[in-house]
Amino acid sequence: MASIFTKIINGEIPSYKIYEDEKTYAFLDINPEAKGHTLVVPKVEVDKIYDLEDDDWNALWASVKKVAKHMEEVTGRRVVMKVVGTDVPHAHVHLTPLSETWEYGKTLKLREDEFEEIRAKLAF
């Protein structure tokens, strides 16, 4: 069965898309640790990030850099990143613009219009 992220990439489940290219897809995390918390995901469905083939690995980290730099430029904030992978078995990297309220693992509840406003600011 396809992972929830594959369904997002294929448009079967909605997402707040920030960025997409041939090999990667980036969208807002639905349980954000701060406004702008984004997941960057390889389009190929591989569970553990260290099992990615080199070309997918390189494409993923190139997109992480691109998205983080863009996010820093737009928000004016330092962007922190983490790889966890305890929840969804499809490799992904978390990117979060630091805010005063940011706390590792603590999440915000945002309304749909708030997600949409953030998406509109960050998408490129």
Residues at the contact surface with ligand AMP, assessed by CB under 6 A:
4, 13, 15, 29-31, 39, 84-88
Token digits of residue 46: 């591989």
Query: Cβ–Cβ contacts within 10 Å for residue 17, how many?
Result: 17
92 has catalytic annotation: yes
In what order do the strands lie in the sheet containing 38-42?
A: 17-20, 24-28, 38-42, 93-97, 79-82
Q: Closest separation between CB of residue 2 and ligand AMP, Å?
A: 13
Catalytic-labelled residue, pool 37, 90, 92, 94: 92
Do 54 and 37 form a contact (C-beta atoms < 8 A)?
no
Which of 2, 84 has the CB closer to ligand AMP?
84
Which of 75, 96 has the CB closer to ligand AMP?
96
Instruction: Enumerate the active-site residues.
Output: 92
